[in-house]
Amino acid sequence: MQALGLQLNNFLLFLKRITPSARQALKIEKNIVLGSIICLLLAFLVNKIFTITLNGIKPIIAYGVLVVTVHLLVFSISLTKYRDLAKAGKNLHQFKEEELPLVSCMVAVHNEQDFVTECLDSIYGQTYEHIEVIVVNDCSTDSTRRVLRAYKKKHKDLKVINLKQNVGKKAALTEAMLTAKGTIFAHTDSDSVWDKDAIKRIVRIFMNNEDVGAISGHGRAKNGGENLITKVQDSWMEGQFSIRKAFESAYGAVTCVSGPLAAYRKEAVYNVLGAWRDDRFLGSEFRFATDRTLTAMVLGSTWIRGKILKKYAKTKFTRNIYEQRDWKVVYSRSARSQTIVPNTLKKFLKQQVRWKKSFVRNTFFNVPFFWRKPLPVAFIFYVHILFVVCAPLVASRIFLDFQRDRYFPVVITYLVSVGIIGVMFALALRYQDKKTPYWYYRPLMSIFSATVLSWIIIYSVLTIKKMTWSRD
């Protein structure tokens, strides 16, 4: 008993010595665990209730309960564990001038005469001055080349690479990275703009965190107020970044460094750029999954980089080999960008088809190694794949039952559960951005995704080799 009392006393003394920040971290982890347990118990209870009252449709009920439970887990972790690294560590003015890295800002353009000027203005308007700007004109057939020629007269340091044939975003950006002089590569889409301090915040993260290999900025819809379709997308984007990416970022495993503002350490990506550019799937060139695949190559560096270097040993990108490391990929909420989103249903559906094809390709790329990541983010990654695969099956079953006038309560229950997820995202949007006028549109996206967009995965798989796309 005396020995036990001594151990208890030592433990209490240890607790007193813990710093306030450490105690807060322990409290957060405890809350996450307790919250997860409560969610699982609630899911079990609800599942049992519906199993008793609606016997014969247990898989549908279980699916709906699992979806809500997983989202509750993601929300609880993202809202308690995520930290924006752009607000931590030394400020840039605390570093010596010669320590500050050159950032190569790159954009690939194809028929972007209406957007490219504003995009470049946002790059040249950055408060971080150590930048170079490279534009790759991917064989545009409109007036893009003339616009760039005129813009270069105003900014003589702008480097323009005019390609003679259309090669796609990945190949175009690799042309830029071959000539880039910076140690940080920052990409943007040609219809996107950056906040003036975006690169400054990105650089601060890289300077204070040597294990970070890539960073995704925050994205919102630049034309969010145009119509119902753009308002719904704007509210959806906020959740994708501030909740989903925040959750993944808490474990240093963001699965997609999104195009509007994507930043990479040169040493984390340079040796794999040949494999990224020449990516093939099912025996054919795969032009989509631009952002997802490069992100995956950073996340899986420790496990897949050796094979890539061996296979692409003769490319220009493997002449100088950088150190292989287990890089983290994070998200910064304060490094912000805006992008033009589709403003018609036709354009929106085309975008969703491209994204689903990217999802399919990237699933095959990530599945073999992602289980090595921290358990919470790995678990959600594989469960999400299950959701995407099962969603059209669940939707079809519910539709058939509804047509036959069977189990009508199940239809209502399923749609309510989907609506609850949308409300959760809407409230989070309202909490994160109290000035946004579109937060209450978010539930519409959840309902639309469950009833319509879930079917797109089937079409995307059937047309996986079709690589053409346009904004129209």
User: How does pLDDT run across 233-278, given as a tens digit for each residue?
Assistant: 999 999 999 999 999 999 999 999 999 999 999 999 999 999 999 8
Q: Work out the average pLDDT over 166-191.
A: 93
Specify the pLDDT at position 79.
Answer: 86
Sequence-ordered list of residues with C-beta below 8 angstroms from that of 14, at least 6 positions apart, any chain = none
66 compared with 187, residue with greater pLDDT = 187
Task: Tell the burial category of 446 from Cβ atoms under 10 Å away from its Cβ (0-12, 13-18, 19+).
Answer: buried
Sequence-ordered list of residues with C-beta below 8 angstroms from that of 3, at least 6 positions apart, any chain = none
- Confidence band (pLDDT; 50, 70, 90) for 63? confident
Q: Work out the average pLDDT over 364-391.
A: 90
Please give the helix or strand (H or E) that residue 213 lies within, else none. strand 212-221
Q: What is the dihedral of CA 237, 241, 245, 247, to 10 degrees?
A: -110
Gap between the Cα atoms of 401 and 115, Å rounded: 47
| Cβ-based neighbour number of residue 304 at 10 Å | 18
Specify the pLDDT at position 417.
Answer: 73
Helix (H, G, I), strand (E, B) or coil at 379: helix
CATH number of 85-346: 3.90.550.10
Gap between the Cα atoms of 350 and 416, Å rounded: 28
Q: Work out the average pLDDT over 121-127.
A: 97
Least confident of 78-92, 105-119, 301-315, 344-358: 301-315
* pLDDT for 56 beyond 60: no
Residue among 114, 116, 161, 115 nearest 135 (CA): 161
Give residue 405's region: left, alpha or beta (phi > 0; psi -120 to 50).
Answer: left
Q: What is the chain's mean pLDDT, rounded?
A: 84
Contact indicator for 217, 145 with CB cutoff of 8 Å:
no
Q: Work out the average pLDDT over 101-117.
A: 94
* pLDDT for 11 beyond 50: no
Specify the pLDDT at position 401.
Answer: 61
The domain ranges of the chain are 18-81, 85-346
